[in-house]
Amino acid sequence: MEFEIGKAHRYARPLALVMLDLDHFKIINDTHGHHVGDAVLKLMVQVVKDILRKADVFARYGGEEFIIVCAETSMDGAVTLADKIRQSIEAFKFPAAGRVTVSAGVAEYQDGDTEAGFIEKADIALYAAKRNGRNRVVASGSELRVK
């Protein structure tokens, strides 16, 4: 992240961050057991990796939250990517768990953003997606961009 923020700042290039969270993951663990929850996480990771470019950095952020650092990507491009991921996960058949959905928050780097501030913008958007019904994408700073 530090490297990509440095490039975005230095060369005035777009940089976006997607934060994903599996919806109601605790229910999956509580209903089906942690072994099924672990399998869901692994399969979800594979679904996401099949969509991403090699240049994208995909990492587990904590628990069932993940981030994607999208170099050379505008807000619109990252929202489109996040929604493609959301739709792909919703369509995937997870053995034993059934239908799984994700919510996503998207932020675009603005000159002067710190790493923590950049992540916080995506996190705030993610929680707006969850508050507004889950299984959706929200762009930072704009409730009108809910997909």
Neighbours of 108 (CB within 10 A): 24
* Tokens representing residue 137 in the block: 């994408």
User: In Å, how far from its chain's centre is CA 22?
Assistant: 9
* CA pseudo-torsion sign 27, 57, 84, 108: positive
Q: 89, 90, 34: which is closest to 63 by C-alpha?
A: 34
Active-site residue list: 64
